[in-house]
Amino acid sequence: MILVLLTNHVLSGALIGALTRRPLPAFAAGVASHFVLDAVPHWGEWGSTRRFLQAAVPDGLVSLAVMGALAAVSPADRRPAVVAGMSGAVLPDLDKPAKLWFGGSPFPGAVDRFHSRIQREAAGRAHLELLAAGGLACAALAAIRAGRPRPR
């Protein structure tokens, strides 16, 4: 069982979208960022599906809320790229709910094998994930709002 917090994938996808500003490259870079983040040492080793879900379900819900919030605060001209970046960044993890609910991954076997081979995980890294979330959230918000006239 594996998990870079999905929230962190969402935040990095939003940052990429805000920086690239074009939906297609943002989506592609978002997908690539997913695998880069998964290869960085992160939280994992759940021991049981039950314990995995205790972290993954709240994380999934927070991710959806963050995606909605970041789309809402994005200026209209940047919103498509921000949403595309976030979508690309979460896409590879669709295998997890798909396995849970439908019993199989939607991706080719080679993709699944690559995805699980790159994971570097250990228990007790929740604090690192939260630190990363804080940093990524600041960076994403700054990039989304960058260069906008300040409200008076």
Given the complex with Zn ion, which of 54 and 116 has the nearer CB atom? 116
Give whichever of 12 and 74 is closer to Zn ion, judged by the CB atom.
12
Residues that bind Zn ion (CB under 5 A): 38, 93
CA 81, CA 25: separation in Å to the nearest integer?
Answer: 8
**CA dist., res. 112 & res. 24, Å (int):** 23
State the nearest-atom distance from the C-beta of 78 to Zn ion, in Å: 26
Where does residue 71 fall: left (phi above 0), alpha (psi -120 to 50 degrees), or beta otherwise? alpha
CB of 47 to Zn ion, least distance (A): 19
Smallest separation (angstroms) from Zn ion to the CB of 148: 32
- Read off the tokens for 82: 């921000």
Q: Which is nearer to Zn ion, 105 or 145 (CB)?
A: 105
